[in-house]
Structure 1
Amino acid sequence: MRLFLAVLALVSGGAALWLWVGAPKVQTPVSQVIQQAAEDVPVSVVALVATRSLPAGTRVTETDLEWANLPVRSVPSGAALQALIPDAEARMVGMVLLRDVEQGDAISWGDMATTATTRLSERISENMVAFAIVVSEATAVGGLVRPGDRVDVFQVQRGGPATETTFINIGQDLRVLAADQTIQPSSDVPAIPPRTLTLEVDMAQLERLGRAQAEGGLLVTLKPKVDLPRP
């Protein structure tokens, strides 16, 4: 009897082992794997942003920066992330912005220069070029245009059938990169009005400005920091 029970136990154990080994494995569907991987990717990150609109050439202070949660897709490459550099805010204080930054925009390390004595080429945006126009106190808002300002440029055409003077807008909302050799924004009135303004333009604007300057007669108008709707 004992022998019979021993044989029965052995057979039962073998059958159970065969069922466990031979039974088909339950696999997780690929869609579930992909979904789980997507859920593991963070939808937002903590990045350093501007607390106000900052023009190029601004020396950054503590009140200009703050940490904010931003969607991952809206964060540019090279942005200052809290998870990577927790003291990025302190490191950027005293640096100089190389481009205009709007309030709430993420700031990247490529936007910053360690000193104010940066090259003009470092201030030019991608796909843009620097082009200098000759101006005078009479044609450039009394010589009060500063680096970082925005201007419109008009071609002045005199004569014609009606001997009238016409003004053609050939450059809208252009950023002033430099006034003479000055590239830093300043509220000080220069002792001598600038004789040249270096503007940031695209290739189409460059062609129009170059042709107009060769023909003579350019007029510069200064734009406000924020264009208000006309009544």
Structure 2
Amino acid sequence: MNTARIVVLTIALGAGGVAAYLARSTDDHAQAPAQPVAQLPTVEVLVAKNEIGLGQSVKPDDLQWQTWPAGTASGNFIKRSDRAEATKEIAGMIARAPFIAGEPIREPKLVKANGSGFMAAILPTGMRAISTEISAETGAGGFILPNDRVDVILTRREKAADKGGPDIVNSEIILPNVRVLAIDQAPKEKEGQNALVGRTVTLELKPEQAETLARARQSGTLSLALRSITDVNMADNSSEEDAAPKKGASINVVRYGVQSSMTTQK
């Protein structure tokens, strides 16, 4: 064997050894065990399997247990470790507020019907449900929906003191920031609609407010003014005197582009 062949064979053997070493090193790194992942403690909480609408009776098929991080599970959540039979206990209760699919079930948003209709079941303690007639003109064109907040406005037409003079029209807010419970017999927005034109509206009122509304229906025309959704957290309806115009207060009226001042009367 001549010298050239020996040199080539030596180089080939050396290259093969290097390649084998590199391949072996790569396999060792690839087979290194993965670092263990820390497992967070979890609990099983009761959630809505399907959407549950306002006034809907909860069925067992509407509920399911779902794994939830223990650190974020509120005290209001129903845990399987505490109440394994909660599905049976919750079934038959009525939703006082809607649930979306996957939302944890909280009992403050539910109420037992005890044979009563859903409207009596969802009314807060001490409140009353009272209805009054509306139209598209007096009901914000149909854009008032259940659970919205409204102001109730009374408009009265009075004869002028001077014979032959124009009638005096007075308007005032008699019930500010009240909640709409239903339009006609619909306790929730109809699916696919963003407007609901009805002939009656049911409002959630305190007993003294219900008396005010009953008197006002005999005194003039009632209209509803839709309020912003953010007004739900404002002061409750007990502050009527602060929200309604005082006797003798002046308001600006614009007619045909001409501004004039009007004094309210009660």
TM-score by length of 2: 0.47
Report the Cα distance in structure 1 between the residues aligned to 2:143 and 2:203, rounded to whole angstroms: 15
> How far apart are 1:130 and its partner, in Å?
0.8
Q: Percent identity?
A: 27
The change in CA–CA distance for 1:111 and 1:166 in structure 2 (over 3 A counts) is same
Instruction: Indicate the SS of the match to 2:209.
Output: helix
Q: Specify the alignment match of 1:201 in structure 2.
A: 205
Deviation at 1:206, TM superposition (A): 0.4
- Secondary structure of the residue aligned to 2:144 is coil
Amino acid paired to 1:195: R
CA–CA distance in 2 between the matches of 1:163 and 1:136?
24
Q: Tell me if 1:138 matches 2:142.
A: no
Task: Write the letter of the residue equivalent to 1:98.
Answer: R
Change (3 A) 1:108 1:171: same
Instruction: Flag the structure with more relative contact order, 1 or 2, with Cα contacts below 8 A and sequence separation at least 6.
Output: 1
Q: Output the CA distance in 1 between the equivalents of 2:230 and 2:53.
A: 12
Structure 1, unmatched stretches of 5+, are 1-46
- 1:108-153 C-alpha deviation (Å, 9 max, x unpaired): 1671579xxx622112111011100111111001123222222111
RMSD, matched Cα: 4.6
In structure 1, what is the equivalent of residue 156 of structure 2? 157
The answer to whether the Cα contact below 8 Å between 1:132 and 1:198 also exists between their aligned partners in 2 is yes
For the pair shown, which has the larger CA radius of gyration, 1 or 2?
A: 2
Aligned partners of 1:144 and 1:189 also within 8 Å: no
- Looking at structure 2, the residues matched to 81 and 170 of structure 1 have their Cα atoms a distance apart, in angstroms, of 46
Partner of 2:10: none
CA contact (8 A) 2:149 2:178 kept: yes
Shift of 1:208: 0.7
Gaps of 5+ in 2: 1-44, 233-266
Normalising by structure 1, we get a TM-score of 0.53
Relative to 1, partners in 2 of residues 1:111 and 1:140: Cα closer, same or farther, differing over 3 Å?
same
Aligned partner (choices 58, 64, 83) of residue 85 of structure 1: 83
- Report the more deviating stretch, 139-148 or 123-132: 139-148
CA–CA distance in 2 between the matches of 1:171 and 1:224?
Answer: 16
Q: How far, CA to CA, are the matches of 1:192 and 1:149 in structure 2?
A: 12
Classify 1:125/1:190 alpha carbon distance in 2 versus 1 (closer, same or farther; 3 Å).
same
> 1:190 Cα shift?
8.5
Question: Could you tell me how far 1:100 is from its partner in structure 2?
Answer: 7.9
Distance 2:195 2:107 in 1: 36
Structure 1 residue 200, shift from structure 2 partner: 1.0
- The number of residue pairs the alignment matches comes to 167
SS in 2 for 1:226: helix
